Amino acid sequence: MSPHRQGMLQPSVQPSDHVLGRGEAPVTLVEYGDFQCPYCYAAHPIVLALEKQLGANLRFVFRNFPLTELHPHALHAAEAAESVAAQAGEPAYWRMHHAIYEHQQDSPDALDDAHLARYAAEAGGDPDQVALDLDNEAQVKRVRSDFESGVRSGVNGTPTFFINGVRFEGDWTNVRQFASALEDAAHTSV
């Protein structure tokens, strides 16, 4: 096993990652998130605003880090999103990603399997296939791979962000500070 540096993204962005934005963007923001985490729910509109603010200068990557002991629906939510990606591709994955966060706080059962199947259908996936994939744990390996990369990267909670491969230690709830860190990274990478 090769040694790794704490606070560094392990591994770097891979072709299998879920990516929004251009590969040539000067800033890559990676989030390790949990679809049932209330803090990730709060971070979601912040990330959307940063994507809009930085435009073509930002590439956003989402990796699954379900905290299953705290969030009983987190694993199935991640698996359902991966099932939609496997069926219908990246645009459908991102529609599912957004739908999960948009509905997370609707009710205590907003992320149960029936609701996940409904969101999948709205995102362009086959809800019956999602249900089958959940039953067969077809996407567990993919979710586990993301989780293990988070562990190697020193992630111990969600959301955890990395800017150009380095863990962001600032306050992501402070949008101005977060945006400033991203803009600084854009200028230093040019």
Determine the average pLDDT of the residues in 175-183: 94
Tell the residue number behind the tokens 């390996």, with chain if given.
141
Residue 120: pLDDT band with limits 50, 70, 90: very high
Report pLDDT for 148.
97
Let me know if residue 25 belongs to a domain: yes
Q: Is the pLDDT of residue 4 over 80?
A: no
Let me know if residue 7 belongs to a domain: no
Let me know if residue 135 belongs to a domain: yes
Report pLDDT for 2.
41
Let me know if residue 12 belongs to a domain: no
Report pLDDT for 5.
56
Q: Is the pLDDT of residue 1 over 70?
A: no
| Domain housing 125 | 21-188
pLDDT tens, position by position, 122-167: 999 999 999 999 999 999 999 999 999 999 999 999 999 999 999 9
Report pLDDT for 190.
54
Task: Report the share of the chain in percent with pLDDT over 90.
Answer: 93
Residue 188: pLDDT band with limits 50, 70, 90: confident
List the 160-163 sheet strands across, edge first: 18-20, 58-64, 27-33, 160-163, 166-167
pLDDT tens, position by position, 87-114: 999 999 999 999 999 999 999 899 999 9
Distance CA 43, CA 40 (A): 5
pLDDT tens, position by position, 151-161: 999 999 999 99
CATH number of residue 133's parent domain: 3.40.30.10
CA dihedral 58, 28, 73, 77 (to 10 degrees): 70
Output the pTM of the full model.
Answer: 0.94
Distance CA 15, CA 131 (A): 26
Let me know if residue 68 belongs to a domain: yes
How many domains are there within the chain? 1
Look up residue 36 and give its DSSP letter: T
Let me know if residue 93 belongs to a domain: yes
pLDDT tens, position by position, 50-69: 999 999 999 999 999 999 99
Instruction: Give the ranges where 55-174 is alpha helix by DSSP (H).
Output: 74-88, 90-103, 113-123, 127-136, 140-152
User: How, if at all, do strands 58-64 and 160-163 pair?
Assistant: unpaired
Let me know if residue 16 belongs to a domain: no
Distance CA 185, CA 179 (A): 10
Let me know if residue 142 belongs to a domain: yes
